[in-house]
Amino acid sequence: MVNCIYRLCEGKRQIFPINARGLRDEPGKVEPSTLCDKYSDELELLGISKRSPSVIIFSDRDSEYTEFLKSTIGEGIKSGIYSYTKQRISYCSCGKIEIPTFNLDSIGEDRLKLASRTQSGWICKFCNSELYESSDRTLVLDLDKAPKVHVIPMFQIPKYESVRSTTSRTVLISRSHRSHANDVQVEDLTIDPDHCWQYFLNYLQAKYGINDFAVVVGVNQIHFAAQLVSLVKLTNPNIKISIVVTPLINLGDLSAGINRETTTRQLIHILGSKIGIRIFLALLVQWSREISNICLSDIDLIKKCLDAKVVTNLKTEALQLQDFEFSFHRQNILRLLKFIRQRSIKDGVASRIIETITT
């Protein structure tokens, strides 16, 4: 999905940050330490090269980012953004659950994805252990309600509005009941892996001078985006953020051989080229929906168009954020592809879209 927004951010930088903190080595899965290389190899197959000066690929496990994170949190402790407090903490054996005890009841079972309530008390859904309680010294952060930001597509604005008030709370940042050699330590406390990626924008601003970001999230991650907006407002109000919310993809009929495990190389085989993949991904983004359906007839249409070997001479221009939803509109792209199939490109808008997708 991230390839569909390749031309965003005024065409200046394409940023691919990876959240690898918290991942553990698991049999059959990519090792967290090699995730960044594996990801950039896949992007390379799509023509997005880490050697390009406009492409930034990095992970929250990189040593440079980790040092930035530690020093930023350290400064936040000194300035009072973070504070220490002693409180009752509920936790499980596997360490996935670590939550202030008073939150267990106030958040409610329907919003607690990791724990469920039984007759004898709360248990962890992963390790099935009961939740234990202890009194811990913790590091916390007080966040305000996330400010209003530009949200694309427009129909997701109410959803952002409904979650931005939930960021106004005290967030537990430290973890005392899980430890791993790769966890980030500040002073004597382990930092929650989910907090570690939240300084990506501050880091990119400090390292590259970027002040204006379009943050791309799936429909089920808008609350993470709101928390990020709230944290950035608190720590670096000069950074401007827009949010692009992409639908999830329903793979549906898998007869074309496309499934969750399909690699970029296999997609190239199915669609004929890296350009074919990018058109296919762009067609998958149905902005008026929360879940887009894969349409297998798109594959034939794309292949016929690629065979047509259409050449355009348009000067490539940066895609502006306000034009994004229109340019990546499924019906507009389909209209263009049908023009190409008939070898009759007459329309300036259509030409522009093919440049946008394939450049």
Site residues (CB under 5 A) for Zn ion? 92, 94, 96, 124, 126-127
Token digits of residue 88: 């009752």
Phi then psi for residue 68, to 5 deg, are -60, -45
Are 186 and 30 within 8 A, CB to CB? no
Burial of 255 (C-beta count, 10 Å sphere; 0-12/13-18/19+): exposed
Of residues 24 and 315, the one with the C-beta less far from Zn ion: 24
Q: Are strands 291-293 and 248-250 parallel, antiparallel or unpaired?
A: parallel
Q: Are strands 150-152 and 189-191 parallel, antiparallel or unpaired?
A: unpaired
From the CB of 97, what's the least distance to Zn ion, in Å?
5
From the CB of 100, what's the least distance to Zn ion, in Å?
17
Of residues 126 and 224, the one with the C-beta less far from Zn ion: 126
From the CB of 128, what's the least distance to Zn ion, in Å?
7
From the CB of 174, what's the least distance to Zn ion, in Å?
18
From the CB of 114, what's the least distance to Zn ion, in Å?
7
Token digits of residue 180: 């791993």
From the CB of 85, what's the least distance to Zn ion, in Å?
24
Residue nearest to Zn ion (CB): 124
Of residues 42 and 194, the one with the C-beta less far from Zn ion: 194
Amino acid identity for residue 185 in this structure: Q
Phi-psi region of 236 (alpha: psi -120 to 50; beta: other; left: phi over 0): beta
Of residues 127 and 349, the one with the C-beta less far from Zn ion: 127
What is d(CA 6, CA 240) in angstroms, rounded to the nearest whole number? 19
Of residues 68 and 126, the one with the C-beta less far from Zn ion: 126
Token digits of residue 336: 């263009």
Alpha helices by DSSP H, listed for 85-220, are 101-107, 157-164, 193-196, 200-208
Of residues 177 and 274, the one with the C-beta less far from Zn ion: 177
